[in-house]
Amino acid sequence: MFDSVAANFVLHCVPGTWEQKGRAFGHIAKVLTEDGVFFGSTILDTGVHHTPLSRALNSLYNGPIKLFHNHGDDLDGLHTALATAFEEVEITVVGSVAVFAAHLPRRPGS
């Protein structure tokens, strides 16, 4: 069991929807201690402020370069995915980046 798991600037590079990415959150919850924390940050695509440069880079990295997979990633989707695996979720948006901490892992069947 782990006291913490970090995922900083990783999730926007993982292919899939928030529902699909959220499956990993359930696996993370299983390996955290009861008072453990899952924390990190990710670049959101929609519903946040992007500068012209960040919008252009986001489009480039989602398009021809195929480094990002955050097309359509939004704050509500992130919150829902985290809340499925954790009882307490805190998210702060800074520009186009969501910084999150999730506590009290849900343990199905326990």
pLDDT of residue 55: 95
pLDDT band at 109 (very low <50, low <70, confident <90, very high): low
How is the chain split into domains, by residue range? 2-105
User: DSSP string spanning 30-47?
Assistant: HHEEEEEEEEEEEE--SS
The span from the CA of 16 to the CA of 48, in Å, is 20
Tell the CATH topology of 2-105: Rossmann fold (3.40.50)
Percentage of the chain lying above the pLDDT 90 cut: 96
Q: 27-78, pLDDT tens digit by residue?
A: 999 999 999 999 999 999 999 999 999 999 999 999 999 999 999 999 999 9
